[in-house]
Amino acid sequence: MSSSELNLMARDWVKFNEYENVLASTDLLALAVSQLREQPSNWKWMMLAAHDALQGAMVCAVQNTSCTNILNKQSEKETLDWLDKLEGDEPAQYLADFLTLLKKYRKKYPSSAITADQLNDIRKLHNQFRNNFAHFTPKGWSIEIAMLPKIIGNALNLVEMAMHQHQVTIHLSGNMKRRLAKNLTVTRAGLTDVK
């Protein structure tokens, strides 16, 4: 295949892996933060992107070589059984829930101390905001903006810690590391501007 054919093919597909997934979420954070004053509804995307970036970063930092320890218990068992026998169809894989991944991250990296206040913000981001936006029911909902920069900031701190674990950095190119750093810097600066 010629290089021009490869270039055409590359424009027809977008590729993701667990690392690009995190970067794409931080791209959205950096983009949305600049529009918060003009478009306050972008707080929704800030919360969803921060949650998604954090979940993805924990997956990157916690996964084992078989990538099964980040699955829910049933899915992990079925996948390990399939890997052991390599017979039949590969089972569907279902990610462990967010709070389970957080628990696994804290157990694997106890030196990455998360304060009680940070942990409370992370849980609030998941339980109160992400879940309500992802499963929105008919209702009116007013959210106090003053608390959101801190909650999102704490999520960004954990994203940064997770993405700087050796297990992750060995998979990131220089461009990926710079992109992550830029996105985090832009997002943090934008959050400071809206306080």
23-67 pLDDT, tens per residue? 999 999 999 999 999 999 999 999 999 999 999 999 999 999 999
Q: Is 64 exposed, middle or buried (0-12, 13-18, 19+ CB in 10 A)?
A: exposed
The reported pLDDT for the residue numbered 194 is 82
Q: Is 167 exposed, middle or buried (0-12, 13-18, 19+ CB in 10 A)?
A: middle
Q: Is 160 exposed, middle or buried (0-12, 13-18, 19+ CB in 10 A)?
A: middle
Q: What angle do helix axes 174-194 and 148-163 make, rounded to 10 degrees?
A: 170
Q: How far is CA 122 from CA 34, 89, 152, 156, 158, in A?
A: 23, 37, 8, 10, 9
Three-class secondary structure of residue 75 per DSSP:
helix
Q: Which CATH architecture has domain 15-64+98-194?
A: Up-down Bundle (1.20)
Domain layout of the chain by residue ranges: 15-64+98-194
Convert 109-122 to b/e letters by CB count within 10 Å (16 or more is b).
beeeebeeebeebb
pLDDT digits (tens, 9 = 90+) for 153-192: 999 999 999 999 999 999 999 999 999 999 999 999 999 9
Assess contact for 51 and 26: CB atoms under 8 A.
Answer: no
Confidence category of residue 13, pLDDT binned at 50, 70, 90: confident
The reported pLDDT for the residue numbered 2 is 59
